[in-house]
């Protein structure tokens, strides 16, 4: 089943009319993604805080609270300022296993004011769950988030 990224982005944009503050926006964004994508066990956000990533709004299982820049998939996404699409997290150097059931992951950096303010992180229990269509769709979703959210 193909994910309807256009619809999810439109939902996100319409929700910003009520409030563009990052807390309700990220909370609803994680719900949109968790509900709109198949085969996930985590969808949420980490936000920059005192030089590291701090757990933000999410849907799914218990998560790591703090991730250092350059560590794991999320920290690497920040260090490289680049989407990380990992088909098998167990082969990713320095992977942080917050949930041992996660086998694949995609992480997209979020920008505001010319700097990285956080990341979108999505995990799946299936190997190879994410592909180029997901990368393009999620980067578009994050672009809408960047446009309509006040961080």
Beta-sheet strands, E only, within 6-126: 42-49, 52-60, 66-68, 84-86, 104-112, 115-124
Cβ neighbors of 58 (< 8 A, separation 6 or more) are 30, 42, 43, 44, 45, 121
5-148: what CATH class? Answer: alpha beta
| Biggest CA-to-CA distance, the chain | 42
Provide the residue ranges of all domains of the chain, joining segments of one domain with +: 5-148
Taking the model in full, what pTM does it have? 0.97
Tell me how far the alpha carbon of residue 86 is from its chain's centroid.
13
Residue-wise pLDDT tens for the chain (151 aa)? 689 999 999 999 999 999 999 999 999 999 999 999 999 999 999 999 999 999 999 999 999 999 999 999 999 999 999 999 999 999 998 888 777 789 999 999 999 999 999 999 999 999 999 999 999 999 999 999 999 999 9
Whole-angstrom distance, CA of residue 99 vs CA of residue 62: 8
Tell which residue, 122, 149, 127, 151, has the closest CA to residue 137.
Answer: 122
């Amino acid at each position: 089943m193909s994910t309807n990224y256009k619809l999810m982005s439109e939902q996100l944009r319409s929700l910003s009319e009520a409030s563009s503050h990052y807390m309700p926006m990220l909370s609803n964004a994680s719900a949109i993604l968790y509900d709109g994508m198949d085969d996930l066990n985590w969808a949420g956000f980490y936000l920059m805080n005192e030089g590291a990533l701090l757990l933000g709004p999410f849907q799914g299982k218990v998560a790591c609270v703090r991730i250092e820049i350059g560590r794991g998939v999320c920290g690497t996404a920040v260090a490289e300022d680049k989407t990380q699409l990992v088909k098998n997290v167990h082969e990713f150097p320095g992977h942080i296993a917050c949930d041992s059931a996660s086998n694949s992951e995609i992480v997209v950096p979020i920008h505001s004011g010319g700097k990285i303010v956080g990341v979108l992180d999505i995990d799946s229990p299936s190997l190879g769950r994410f592909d180029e269509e997901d990368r393009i769709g999620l980067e578009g979703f994050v672009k809408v988030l960047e446009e309509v959210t006040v961080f």
